[in-house]
Amino acid sequence: MPSQRALTFNPGTFLKKIGKCSTSRGYRNKELIFAQGEAADAMFYVEAGNVKLTVLSKHGKKAVIAIFRQGDFFGEGCLGAPSLRMSTATAVRPSTIVRVEKIAIISIIHDDPLFARLFIAHLISRVTRTEEDLLDQLLNSSEKRLARTLLLLAGFGTQSKPHPAALKVSQGTLAEMVGTTRSRVSFFMNRFRKMGLIDYNGSLHVHWAVLNFFLHK
């Protein structure tokens, strides 16, 4: 019953398989990893630090698609039809990133059926996550979206650890994630604080239980 086996995509196992076909490298804060428009020829893995994926529209408006943390993969787009990067990846703090050549992954997919299956499960979870983001946009007001973004940043929903504080994300970035303006984010953040959903004097602390209640009622 192979279908009953655990389907969690284990980055450790994966990286072991990749072995010599990957290269690890440090990035400074704000350093570019890849840029929108470049050819996509490799995938990446966050060994330490954080990475921001942004898109710049024709009209100069910016949006943040995702923020990755330790253990996340990004840049999977290279495995589809040959294409260009849709987004720009930037380190948002000193980070260690593993680069895996497209050709290496393809060959593992070819040689290891179990890996292929896990990788597919991984992609499905990415589709699911992206669809949730889309639905959030379609269904909720910017206030709710901000609340959800804060919860996710606090690590809510990720395994067992409702992350302490972790990410330092500016209100500007929050605005680009939520799809609104910075002044609006500032307004809501203060409201959340008054309502006791979050604390912040310098660093942010999310009261996830209360905030989660707020989000769903």
CB of 11 to its own copies, least distance (A): 16
Distance CA 14, CA 215 (A): 36
Contacting residue, 11, 71, 94, 172, with DNA by CB under 7 A: 172
> Which region among 10-18, 26-34, 44-52, 103-111 touches its own copies (by CB under 8 A)?
103-111
Subset of residues 62 to 81 that bind its own copies, contact rule: CB under 8 A: 63, 65, 76-77, 79-81
Subset of residues 13 to 52 that bind its own copies, contact rule: CB under 8 A: none
Contacts 24+ apart (CB under 8 A), 129-135: none
Whether the CB-CB separation of 54 and 90 falls below 8 Å is answered with: yes
Subset of residues 90 to 119 that bind DNA, contact rule: CB under 7 A: none
Q: Which does 110 bind (CB under 5 to 8 A by kind): its own copies, DNA, none?
A: its own copies
- Does 10 help bind its own copies (rule: CB under 8 A)? no
Contacting residue, 22, 50, 95, 180, with DNA by CB under 7 A: 180
Q: CA dihedral defined by 97, 99, 100, 102, rounded to 10 degrees?
A: 130
Contacting residue, 5, 141, 164, 205, with DNA by CB under 7 A: 141
Token match 């495995």: residue? 79
- Does 161 help bind its own copies (rule: CB under 8 A)? no
Q: Residues with Cβ < 8 Å from 141, sequence gap 6 or more?
A: none
Q: Which two tokens stand for residue 210?
A: 């209360």
Runs of H (alpha helix) within the chain: 11-18, 102-111, 113-139, 142-153, 171-178, 182-194, 208-216
What is the total count of residues that contact DNA (CB under 7 A)? Answer: 18
Interface positions with DNA (CB under 7 A)? 29, 141-143, 170-172, 179-184, 186-187, 189-190, 202
